[in-house]
Amino acid sequence: MSGELEQRLAGIRGRMEQACLKAGRAADSVRLLAVSKTHGPDAVMEASAAGLADFGESRIQEARQKIPQCSGSLRWHFIGHLQSNKVREAVRLFEFIHAVDSPRLLEHLERLCQEEGRRLSVCLEVNVSGERSKFGMQPGDVPAALRTAAGCFRVKVEGLMTIPPIAEDPAEARPFFRALRGLRDRMQEESGVPLPELSMGMSHDFEVAIEEGATWVRVGTSLFGPRRKGVPDEAV
Ligand SMILES: *Cc1c(COP(=O)(O)O)cnc(C)c1O
């Protein structure tokens, strides 16, 4: 069984290894999050058979259909913008939320995790470019979010996440990845709380993200092919 997906996965693994080598990082210091949005359970099961266990979705409506149809011990990550009326369902469906963008959402997640008897890992989404169209907190808001996080027992802030401005040349994303890492380093030092995860890099720029310290790369198109039409994508 050497399908198209397996070949694409081998290509991605190769690119990840090269980037780690170039950056002097251990190959196992970066994990691949397979972004399965718009692709069906069949694609997820094929990726799972190829050895992947972490899957990313950006819409609750889509995830609530798909996740129950996928068997095996998969870990589901929510990578989209989470609306307050979907927080309970997100807590039930996911174990990692990559884009928490306010202290208020942290508190909301903590409360619903208590009610649902769940635990959750999260990253704080930071808008390091200052683009007005983007979700994410400002870098200056991170300390307040970490103070809120200190009072959370079921929700654990593991690090930071960003989506840089769309650019043709992946190198243009470098300053934003570097800024996120610098912010993480400062916040870690100031708060004394470990923030090991940096969720950054997508299909076209994950090598650059790895060179700048990414620990999670979120890869959709390079792995599953073009997004399937007729499934709206409101994440980016
Ligand atoms: C869709 C999406 C990705 C994956 O994008 P590709 O370019 O297809 O790899 C990564 N991160 C987020 C937040 C997304 O919404």
C-beta of 220 in contact with ligand 1 (< 6 A): yes
DSSP 3-state of 217:
strand
Asked if the structure places residue 235 within a domain, the reply is no
- Which atom of ligand 1 approaches the CA of 99 most closely? 13
The pLDDT profile of the chain, 236 residues, written as one tens digit per residue, is 568 999 999 999 999 999 999 999 999 999 999 999 999 999 999 999 999 999 999 999 999 999 999 999 999 999 999 999 999 999 999 999 999 999 999 999 999 999 999 999 999 999 999 888 779 999 999 999 999 999 999 999 999 999 999 999 999 999 999 999 999 999 999 999 999 999 999 999 999 999 999 999 999 999 999 998 776 655 44
Q: Residue-wise over 75-104: b if at least 16 C-beta within 10 A, else e?
A: ebbbbbbbeeebbbbbbebbebbbbbbbbe
Asked if the structure places residue 234 within a domain, the reply is no
Give the 3-state DSSP-derived string for 83-152, with helices as H, strands as E and coil as C.
CHHHHHHHHHHCCEEEEECCHHHHHHHHHHHHHHCCCEEEEEEECCCCCCCCCCECHHHHHHHHHHHHCC
Give dist(CA 65, CA 108) in Å, integer. 24
Ligand 1 centre and the CA of 190: distance in Å? 31
How many structural domains compose the chain? 1
Ligand 1 centre and the CA of 192: distance in Å? 31
C-beta of 37 in contact with ligand 1 (< 6 A): yes
- Which atom of ligand 1 approaches the CA of 224 most closely? 8
Specify the pLDDT at position 134.
79
C-beta of 173 in contact with ligand 1 (< 6 A): no
Asked if the structure places residue 231 within a domain, the reply is no
Specify the pLDDT at position 231.
63
Asked if the structure places residue 35 within a domain, the reply is yes
Asked if the structure places residue 36 within a domain, the reply is yes
Nearest CA to ligand 1 atom 11: 218
Asked if the structure places residue 125 within a domain, the reply is yes
Testing ligand 1's pocket by substitution, the residue of 202, 217, 221 carrying the most ligand atoms inside 8 A of its CB is 202
C-beta of 135 in contact with ligand 1 (< 6 A): no
Asked if the structure places residue 102 within a domain, the reply is yes
Specify the pLDDT at position 235.
44
In the numeric block, the tokens 């654990």 are attached to 156
| Domain harbouring 105, CATH code | 3.20.20.10
105 lies in which domain range? 3-224
- Which atom of ligand 1 approaches the CA of 206 most closely? 9
Specify the pLDDT at position 233.
57
Testing ligand 1's pocket by substitution, the residue of 8, 32, 79, 125 carrying the most ligand atoms inside 8 A of its CB is 79
Asked if the structure places residue 230 within a domain, the reply is no
Q: Residue-wise over 129-141: b if at least 16 C-beta within 10 A, else e?
A: beeeebbbbebeb
